[in-house]
Amino acid sequence: MTFHILTIFPEFFAGPFAHGVVKRACAAGLLEIRIHNLRDWTHDRHRTVDDRPFGGGEGMVLKPEPVFDAVESIWPERGPGRKVILLSAQGRMFDQGVANRLSREETLLLICGRYEGVDERVAEHLADEELSIGNYVLSGGELAAAVVIDTVARLIPGVLGNETSAAFDSFQETGHGEGLLDCPHWTRPAEFRGWKVPEVLLNGNHEEIRQFRKGAAREKTARLRPDLV
């Protein structure tokens, strides 16, 4: 699977993609991430990508021309398997279900907004989808793009050593079933500062442990995420 990222901060992604699952997926040839500097599609001396908002108001808006030019030069032809996604706080909510759907795409191009926003014609006439990773204001779409790529990369067949382990993460439907959170985890020592690990996890009875984990997942989901129950 290939991701293109369109950004004014290409250096931003050196960190997030240089570790762990995403790094290994790239090294294994299962994932390709190509980062494009939006300023490469400007034509003036200052490499201008922003301008003042029509109607007045604070701040600047990302101009449409470099964004359209970039997408049309990265992909002279559009079509199925080539999906353009605008990351913005106004987008539809990204979740594990959206990640599953996106993981079946061949190639995605993620546009990262900056300044006070992106000219609306990008959302209306260039992007196939507008996605938000949550109800908070970020400084730009770059962090959101990194979140989307990390989440989707884990779902590409072969990326996780254990083909089933993605299915047991929080929110993935197949773990304890019912769309619960992941169960809590403990490791050694069995007692830390007087806090003991639940006895049942130490007794080696795997059916009892399975039951305990399911109950613990239900209890924690109800307490922290009643919206999921």
* Residues at the contact surface with ligand 9WO, assessed by CB under 6 A: 87-89, 113-114, 116-117, 132-134, 137-138, 140-141, 144
Query: Of the two residues 19 and 92, which places its CB atom closer to ligand 9WO in the complex?
Result: 92
Of 140 and 175, nearer to ligand 9WO (C-beta) is 140
| Cα–Cα dist 41/77, whole Å | 18
Minimum CB separation from ligand 9WO for residue 131, in Å?
7
Least spacing, CB of residue 62 vs ligand 9WO, in Å: 8
Instruction: Give DSSP secondary structure letters for 186-224.
Output: --S-SEETTEEPPGGGGS--HHHHHHHHHHHHHHHHHHH
DSSP structure class, residue 79: B
Report d(CA 26, CA 13) in Å as an integer: 14
Minimum CB distance to ligand 9WO smaller for 22 or for 86: 86
Angle of helix 20-27 versus helix 142-153 axis, rounded to 10: 70
Chain position whose Cβ is nearest to ligand 9WO: 89
Query: How far is residue 201's CA from residue 213's CA, in Å, rounded to a whole number?
Result: 9
Nearer to ligand 9WO, 95 or 163 (CB): 95
- Closest approach of Cβ 68 to ligand 9WO, in Å? 18
CB 137 to ligand 9WO: min, Å: 5
Which lies closer to ligand 9WO via its Cβ, residue 117 or residue 175? 117
Cα separation, 118 vs 120, whole angstroms? 6
| The pair of three-digit structure tokens given for residue 169, joined into one six-digit string | 């993460």
Shortest separation between residue 86's beta carbon and ligand 9WO, angstroms: 9
Task: Compute the half-sphere exposure of residue 145: CA atoms within 13 Å on the CB side of its CA.
Answer: 31
